[in-house]
Chain A
Amino acid sequence: MPFGIAVFAIAISFGVLARPVMGLVAPIVMSVVVFSGAAQFGALAVLSAGGSTAAAIAAGLLLNARYLAMGLALAPSLRGRTLSRAAFAMTTVDASWAAASTGDGTFDPWFMVGASIPQYVGWIFGTVIGVFIGGSLGNPDAYGLEALFPAFFISLLFEEVHDRRRAAAALGGAAIALVLTPLVPAGLPILAAVAAAIVVARVRP
């Protein structure tokens, strides 16, 4: 439930920020069918900066590449028919996946579903409210909304970086973005940060 409320607040900011770039309907549909804060904010960040559709998709999908790893960890804990395993796997979101971990390498799938449903509801309702109040706010900078992107990504980064390898990958990614932002078109500095993950994985597998 606390996740649901936090997600609701973040979804409002997604709706507010997405409206000028994506219109009224697309952000809501996106929250219903994508349901991923990192991918949606990541893709929106690229589009807002004038980046291409391809760069926005690539940024969103690379941010969600972690689901591949999370799905592999989850796989042995899912039993039953293909359809039921697929249904459980679709409820994977960061906070629920982490909360459903039992600590011995297995997961409680029903716990994950229970944690994801309030987040899904909060995510969609928040987006709807965000898009509709977004137009009547005037200059979003006056409310500090421009700081929502950095704050959200910093929060995810804090969750993610829990060892030295991840810290090194994060520092490398930050350095690449700092150096490349003045040099290449919007969206590319974020994608280029993949190089940091590859280098760290090579040096310290």
Chain B
Amino acid sequence: MTGVWIAVAALALGTAALKLAGPLLLGGRLLPFRVMSVVGLLASSLLAALVIVETFGQGRSLTLDARAFGAVFAVVALARKAPLTVVVLGAAAVAALAHAIS
């Protein structure tokens, strides 16, 4: 449990530091272009990796289960510009259905 609290504290401080760094420390100056170029792409890479791990990961193996049906629904709903609530709750409903049938 100590680990959980360390994670909470570190994420609170780290997130605040990331939000404040630009407006407070750097003022109008910019980070080196090469650094900013990577920073701008980090969220895309990490989110895609999270999607894979959370959809297909089962400990240290890959599986195909109800989560994949929910993920497919989410992609289709987002492509059709559905609101976030519909995407997330709809994905859960589809996965619950897949879970009940299988």
Residues on A close to B: CB < 8 A?
Answer: 2, 5-6, 9-10, 13, 21-23, 26, 29-30, 33-36, 38-43, 45, 47, 49-50, 52-53, 56-57, 59-76, 78, 82, 85-86, 88-90, 92, 141-158, 160-161, 165-167, 169-174, 176-178, 181-186, 189-190, 192-198, 200-201, 205
Contact = CB atoms under 8 A, between A and B. Distances in A.
Interface of B: 1, 3-12, 14-16, 18-24, 26-28, 30-31, 33-34, 36-57, 59-62, 66-67, 69-71, 73-75, 78, 83-85, 87-100
A145 B92 contact: yes
A174 B24 CA distance: 34
Contact of B92 (A143, A177, A190): A143
Contacts of A195: 45
Contacts of A192: 49
Contacts, number: 321
Given A145-B92, A152-B88, A26 B4 contact: yes
Given A26-B5, A155-B74, A194-B42, A146 B67 contact: yes
Contacts of B67: 146-147, 149-150
Nearest to A165: B41
Instruction: Name A's interface SS.
Output: helix
A154 B23 contact: no
B85 A53 contact: no
A26 B10 CA distance: 13
Nearest to B100: A142
11 contacts: A6-B85, A9-B89, A45-B54, A75-B23, A144-B93, A144-B96, A146-B67, A147-B95, A151-B87, A194-B45, A196-B48
